[in-house]
Amino acid sequence: MDELQWAGAVSEKIKKKLEITARRNAHKIPYTTKDGVFDDKSKDEICWWTNGFWGGIMWQMYHATGNELYLNIAKSNEKELDRNLMDAQGMDHDSGFKWLPTAVCDYRITGDLDARNRGLLAAGNLAGRFNPAGSFIRAWNDNGDAGKAGWAIIDCMMNLPLLYWAYAETKDSRFQQIAAAHADMAERYFVRPDGSVNHIVAFDPVSGKFVETFGGQGYAAGSSWTRGQAWALYGFILSYIHTKKESYLDTAKHVANYFIANIGPDALIPVDFRQPEECGLEDSTASAIAACGLLEIEKYVPQNEKHIYHQAAIRLLQVLDEKRCNWEENSDNILEKCTGAFHDEEHEYSIIYGDYYFIEAIWKLTGQEIFIW
């Protein structure tokens, strides 16, 4: 079976499973599974950062199939998130993850002006988190404790496209300038000389001076949290796509080359590239996210470099399909052995954004994707 046939076959497996999964989870906003059954964040954690990905899956499925089942679920997910949009403490740096796959995707496909309004409200809030002293978008809230006021995280590179979209939609240059300023800062303070990246960088929120870095969701300070690597390589190529600033492409390649060089013989990605040798913990989400970014990088590099990024992406995706995907129809999730953070008590479970990015990557290969970033 050649590569295109393989991707087409995986696409059909996704479509077969998702029609069943979507029907039995139509009123949920899932994060993970318990005994193969999706949980529901809409009940008591509507502000949870992953709550846009189920809607994103639905829009990707609707775009690929035209089945209004997915459109209706996506619309419902988007409206549920209005409770988050009206909760000041629940708004943080992850507005891109929540409203790009929901409201902005809705507007792009249907032209719904209410969806456009939601996207612009979210973009305005994200822009309001920009600290000009240090040129960074603040990460988490802290319930009145100013200890995190100077924190920025690599994940935020994936939220910048919400600002790029808002600029394209309104021609208000502040959105573009804030996004680019944060990306410039990330090039300087997050990306190390070897292409690995920090997860958390702390600045003095008043002076803007660099203070220190933290290990965050990785193994330790100075280590190499793999999902952070994936956020970086995908995030920087997205900034390049929206701005055409060459340094962003160079940075995306630099991080991607580091990631590729650290893929082991089995192509199963650990939680941290620098975790202890005896530790076998995996994070399949890092594989899926990185594959998406690698396939985008491929589009913008010279012809003689394209195979580097394409072949790495295919290798990651084929191993996920063969070893880390659950194609049983009685289980809601697709991807298995995902990990939120190295030092969490629980590891290697299903996570909704793992499914989302796996589907997005396969759709890139089959030409069915709606590009939402």
Query: Which two structure tokens, joined as six digits, stand for 160?
Result: 């910048």
Alpha-carbon distances, residue 222 vs 190, 192, 244, 274, 279 (angstroms) = 11, 9, 30, 9, 17
Alpha helices in 190-283 (DSSP H): 226-243, 246-261
CA distance 124 to 132: 16
Could you say which DSSP state residue 140 is in?
Answer: -
Supply the pLDDT for residue 198: 98
> What pLDDT score does 144 carry?
59
pLDDT < 70 positions in the chain: 143-146
Tell me the two tokens of residue 185: 């800062």
With pLDDT > 90 as the criterion, what percentage of the chain qualifies? 98
Handedness of CA 58, 62, 67, 68 (dihedral sign): positive
Question: pTM for this structure?
Answer: 0.97
- CATH class, domain 3-366, is mainly alpha
Q: What is the pLDDT of residue 183?
A: 98
112 contacts 106 by C-beta, under 8 angstroms? yes
Q: Which pLDDT belongs to residue 145?
A: 61
d(CA 367, CA 53): 20
Q: Which residues are catalytic?
A: 94, 155
Contact of 58 with 67, CB cutoff 8 Å: no
Helix (H) or strand (E) holding 94: none
